[in-house]
Amino acid sequence: MKPRSWSTPKCRLPQYNWPIISKDIGAEVWVKHENHTPTGVFKVRGGITFIDWIKRTQPGATGICTATRGNHGQSQARAAIAAGLTAKIYVPFGNSIEKNTAMRTFGGEVIKFGEDFDTARLVAIRVAQEQNLVVVPPFHIELLRGVASYAYELFTNVPDVDTVYVPIGCGSGICSTIAVRDAMGLKTKVVGVVSSKAQTAKLSFDQGKLIEIPSANTFADGMAVRIPVADAYDIYAKGAEHMVAVSEEEVAAAMRLYYTATHTLPKARVPPPLPRSHKSVTKCKTNAWA
């Protein structure tokens, strides 16, 4: 079914201070509910701005080609098809059945290739060149223009937040949050959250250089990245406070807590609420999970 419009209504999505989560963590915690977007994730914002940029700057473009674990792909398929473009989307074998179905429902052509996201990304670039399609990278300034709007909403409504925890895949979320914080002149600390099984961003941050890892086999598929994005690294290396790695068990526990507290089921890339013993939480009065 083709969306009626590839633009999004001019409304702001909520952020709530959930008492159960705050009590469990031992601090005031705000949750930014990007699960209320048309695709259930913040990346829909970047899809709108990127496709708008293509239509304005490349009027002869007929379609796009990209790689994804699902969230980015849904965003691009939705925006591209509504704008009259085709959407060819590469995913690794074993990718989420539900996300594959969602991308097809939005009108995208889903093609399985490779064992992980980074392998699928390389073939997407090659195919885009061969078929004269616009390649949509996982990180691009025109994606950030849209993604940044969720951070702006959060900081506008909770300007005194001490620390924001942002999950990292390729980095659009954390980099947008850093950019908005700096533009608004806030002192908020931005902490990156990675899976303990996909620590490429954390290792790169800690060692001060790009570090690839051999595997990113985590069920938190939004964070399942082996190869860091250099442009994203340049931003979070300077703007992030530090990085935190969370285990598979902690991600699962966080999903259960979110479900108990908010009565909604989050995707497995949410930044898990850290235990009250964690130094980032105990030193802060107000925290936000974006």
**CB-neighbour burial class of residue 72 (10 A; exposed 0-12, middle 13-18, buried 19+):** buried
Query: 69 with 92: CB under 8 angstroms?
Result: yes
Torsion of Cα atoms, 271 then 275 then 279 then 282, to 10°: 110
Q: Which of 233, 255, 241 is nearest to 35 (CA)?
A: 255
Query: Measured between alpha carbons, how far is residue 200 from residues 51, 52, 143, 243 in Å?
Result: 28, 31, 21, 11
Q: Which of 21, 286, 20, 61 is nearest to 154 (CA)?
A: 286
Report the pLDDT value the prediction gives residue 1, as an integer from 0 to 100.
37
User: Low-confidence residues of the chain, pLDDT below 50?
Assistant: 1-9, 275-284
> 165 in helix, strand or coil?
strand
Report the pLDDT value the prediction gives residue 25, as an integer from 0 to 100.
87
CATH number of the 44-136 domain: 3.40.50.1100
**How many helices and strands (H and E) does the chain possess?**
11, 10
Report the pLDDT value the prediction gives residue 56, as an integer from 0 to 100.
97
Q: Quick check: do 15-42+141-289 and 44-136 share a fold? A: yes
The structural domains of the chain, with segments of one domain joined by +, span 15-42+141-289, 44-136
pLDDT tens, position by position, 192-213: 999 999 999 999 999 999 999 9
Query: 162 with 188: CB under 8 angstroms?
Result: yes
CA gap 71, 252 in Å, rounded: 19
CATH class of the region 15-42+141-289: alpha beta
Indicate the helix (H) or strand (E) that contains 249: helix 248-262
Q: Which of 73, 75, 107, 78 is nearest to 90 (CA)?
A: 73
pLDDT tens, position by position, 33-63: 998 888 888 999 999 999 999 999 999 999 9
Q: Which of 197, 172, 175 is nearest to 250 (CA)?
A: 197
Report the pLDDT value the prediction gives residue 275, as an integer from 0 to 100.
45
